[in-house]
Amino acid sequence: MKKILLLCISLILSNSISGQNHREYNRDANKAFKERDYINATIYSIKSLQVKNNFKTAAKLFERSISLANTNNLSKITRLVDQAVPYKDEQSAIQMKEIYTTYNRLNQIQSELLYFPQKVKLKNKNIIAENTYDFTNEINNSKNLLNEYNNITAENFYDEGNLILSQSDSPTKDEYRKAYRLYVKSDSYVDNYENVKELIKKTLELGKVKIAITKKNYTNNNFNRLHDQIRDKIFERRFTKNITSTLVNEVPINLQDSDPGYIKSLVQSDSKDPIIDEIFELVYINFTINNIKVINSIPFRNSVQVKERVNDSTTTSVTKTAEGRVYELYGNARLEMNLTISDALYGNSFIDEKISKYYEYKNSYIAYKGDKRALPKGYLRYSTTRPVDPNLQLQVEEKALNRIKEIIKSRYEN
C-alpha cells in the first residue's frame, strides 16, 4: 500500500513539474527563434514536447524551426567552405572552426530527434524524415581540417615572432612586446606549440617597462591612499614592472624615497643594463579644503486647510501648520599636483602635466515642527536629518586619480 501511495505522489509531482517545464522550454525556444538561432529553437521545442507531447504551440514552432535550422546553417557552411578551403591565412582557421562548431550544433538536433515523442501530432508527417541527417563524416573531416589549419596558423605566428627577434642583436622593448603577442596567438591555436610558453614568459618579462615611482609632498596632508591607488593602476598594466629598490656598493637603496635626479645618475652610471627605464614622479603641490558647514538657514512657515473625519459620516476642515528652517550645506576641496614621466637614462620627459582638480559639495535638509501635510510645495524632497558628510579629500583625490588613469592607459600597453 505504501509503495502504491509513493508511486502516486511521484506521478503527481512529476506532472506538476512537467507542467512548469514545458512552458519554460517553449519560452526559450521562442526567444531563440526571434534571435534567428533556429538550432536552439528546434532543440528547446523538442524538449518542450518531450515533457508534454500534446503541446500544440511547441509542435508548431518545431516544424517552423527545424527546416530553417538545417537549410540556413548548411548554406552558411557551404559559403564558409568556399572561403576557407584551401588554407590562406588565420581567417581560414577561424572559418574552419565555425564550420566544425556548426556541424556539431546541427548534430545536437539529430541527437534530440532520437527521443522525439511518437505521439506528437505534426502537420507535416514527413518533416522529421526530411530533416534527418548523419553528420559523422562531416564532423570528422572538419575536425581534421581544423587541426591542420590550427597547426599551420600556430607555426605562422611562431615564425613571425622569431623573425622579429632575429632582426636585431638587441631587440627593443617594443619588439619584445610584438613578439610576445605573436607567441600568445600561436599558443591560442596549438597549446605550447614548439615550447612557445617559455618564449611567452621570456618576451613578456623583457618587454616590460621598469618603473620607479617617486613622490614629493609640499602639503600638510597625507596622500598615501591616492599614491597606492596610482601605483596599483600602473602595475595592473601587462608591460610594467615596479622597481622599488636596488643595491649600490652592496647597500640597499629605497628608490621610492629617492630623488629622481639621483635615480637618473644611478641609471646613467650603468647604462648597459639600466635598473630603471622610466621614472613616474608625483609632486603634491597644494591642497586646500573648506570643511562642510551650514552656510544658510532659511526660516519657513506654512499653513493649509485639510479635511479630517469627525465620525463615520462627518468630516470637518481644520488648519494645519508646519514651521521650521531649511539648512544649506557647503564645502569644497582643491588638489594641485604635477605628474612627470621621464626617461631614466636620457632624462627627457614623456609626460609633464599639472593636474588641478576641484570638488564642490552642496546639499540641504530641513528641521520643522508641525504637520507634514503643511510643508511648502517641494519640501518633501528634503531630508529631515543632516546628511552624512562625504570625505572631501577622497572625493577630490578620485577626480585626480581618474585623470592619472587616463595617462597610464595611454602610456603603457596592456
pLDDT in tens, 313-368: 788 899 999 999 999 999 999 999 999 999 999 989 999 999 999 999 999 999 99
Indicate whether 12 belongs to any domain: no
Question: Looking at the structure, do residues 118 and 256 belong to the same domain, yes or no?
Answer: no
Q: How many angstroms separate the CA atoms of 238 and 408, rounded?
A: 12
Residues 98 and 159 in one domain: no
Would you say residue 255 lies in a domain? yes
> Rounded to an integer, what distance in angstroms lies between the CA atom of residue 269 and that of residue 308?
90
CA angle 96, 101, 106 (to 5 degrees): 125
Residues 165 and 267 in one domain: no
Q: Is 10 within a domain?
A: no
Instruction: Give the three-class secondary structure for 413.
Output: coil
Residue 141 forms part of a structural domain: no
Do residues 176 and 225 share a domain?
A: no
Of 49, 58, 51, which Cα lies nearest the Cα of 17? 51
Low-confidence ranges of the chain (pLDDT < 50): 6-20
| Residue 144 domain-assigned (yes or no) | no
**Distances in Å between the alpha carbon of 334 and those of 288, 320, 388, 392, 402?**
5, 46, 20, 9, 15
Q: Looking at 306-391, list the stretches that DSSP marks H as alpha helix, in order from N- to C-terminal side.
A: none
| The C-alpha cell that represents 161 in the structure block | 615572432
Co-location of 230 and 254 in the same domain? yes
HSE at residue 334, side-chain half, CA atoms within 13 A, is 6
Length of the chain: 414
Is residue 115 a part of any domain in this protein? yes
Q: Is 148 inside a domain boundary?
A: no
User: Same structural domain for residues 219 and 250?
Assistant: yes
Mode of pairing for the β-strands spanning 278-311 and 251-254: unpaired
- Domain identity same for 225 and 341: yes
SS3 state at 342: strand
406 and 318 both lie in a single domain: yes
Residues 56, 85 share a domain:
yes
Q: Assess whether 35 and 52 both reside in one domain.
A: yes
Tell the residue number behind the cell numbers 600556430, with chain if given.
154
Number of domains in the chain: 3
Domain boundary among 191, 206, 221: 206
Structural domain boundaries, residue 187 = 155-206
Nine cell digits for residue 397? 583625490
Helices (H), 217-313: 224-234, 260-269
Query: Do 197 and 285 lie in a common domain?
Result: no
pLDDT attached to residue 95: 98
Q: Is residue 142 part of a domain?
A: no
Please name which of 249, 282, 277 lies closest in space to residue 263, comparing C-alpha atoms. 277
Identify the residue whose cell numbers are 605628474.
Answer: 339
Same domain (yes/no): 201, 117: no
